[in-house]
Copies of this chain bind each other. A is one copy, B any other.
Amino acid sequence: MENIFTFAANQLSSIMEVYIQLPVNRKLFIRDPESTDLGRRMLAESIRFIHQYGFEEFTFKKLAYSIGTTEATIYRYFENKHRLLIYIVDWYWSWLHYLCIEKTRKTSDPAQRIRKIIRILTNGEAEGVSFRHIDKNLLKGIVISEGSKAWLTRHVVQDNRDKLFKPYKDLCGFVAGIFLEYRPRYRYSRSLATTVVKMSHTLNFYTMNLPSLTDYGTSKDTRRIRPFLEDLVLSTLKNH
């Protein structure tokens, strides 16, 4: 199967420190942050900052200060902080999509492929190859608690036209395809895929912050999200 990550996948090697360049929409930046050391520090530090203090507290001025540059310089890389958020959120979804493709490649049994996908989506610890400057565990935290803010704006429709949410939609589309392999006649594969992708992250947020919305008590044990979603998907699909 040829896909957008072919180039990246070919670069995979046995050493863990591998540099995969995930494709990012060029409209998301003015100057490619991956192209300079300063740019990469912007990414690394904004991930740390947003994870710690939240997106509302995050400003270019503070980011500039903490990496020893100026506000004006950051504005030469990113139009505004919202675009930077979409940049890192997109990066996360692209990476998850890549992981899903990689990890299901060798499995042919459709039900088994579905279980693998759900395992990846609900995995607490970010797995896969490591990256120089992007801390995937922090990133996952950001996507869980700030991710929706990427599209919860007045300009969703225009941003969507500009394909800014393509990685998320591609991932959901891929998952929907896996569902259809299992039950080709199921009519709501996309809705179900979106539900699973969304809830695998939202239930994480609820477990940590509004635990009574889940069944895991106050133990904050996010591991039980997986059996719930697995049962949800397989019960539904089996029924068709």
Measured CB to CB, the residues of A under 8 A from B are: 53-54, 56-57, 145-146, 148-149, 151-154, 156-157, 160, 165, 168-169, 172-173, 187-192, 194-195, 198-199, 202-203, 206, 209-210, 212-215, 225, 227-228, 231-232, 235-236, 238-239
Contact A214 B190 (CB under 8 A): yes
Chain B nearest Cβ from A144, distance in angstroms: 10
Rounded to whole angstroms, the CA-CA distance of A199 and B202 in the bound complex is 11
Rounded to whole angstroms, the CA-CA distance of A151 and B210 in the bound complex is 9
Contact A154 B57 (CB under 8 A): yes
Known A194-B203, A203-B191; judge A151-B57 contact (CB<8 A): no
Question: Which 10 pairs show the lowest CB-CB distances between chains A and B?
Answer: A235-B239, A188-B228, A54-B154, A235-B236, A194-B213, A156-B209, A190-B215, A191-B228, A188-B215, A191-B215
Chain B nearest Cβ from A114, distance in angstroms: 15
Extra contacts, 18 of them, besides A56-B154, A190-B212 (Cβ < 8 A), are A54-B153, A56-B153, A57-B154, A148-B152, A165-B210, A173-B212, A187-B215, A188-B227, A188-B228, A190-B213, A191-B213, A191-B214, A191-B225, A198-B198, A198-B199, A231-B236, A231-B239, A232-B232
Known A190-B215, A236-B236; judge A210-B156 contact (CB<8 A): yes
Rounded to whole angstroms, the CA-CA distance of A235 and B156 in the bound complex is 33
Find chain B residues with CB under 8 A from A213 CB: 168-169, 172, 190-191, 194
Find chain B residues with CB under 8 A from A187 CB: 215
Find chain B residues with CB under 8 A from A236 CB: 231-232, 235-236
Chain B nearest Cβ from A17, distance in angstroms: 33
Chain B nearest Cβ from A122, distance in angstroms: 12
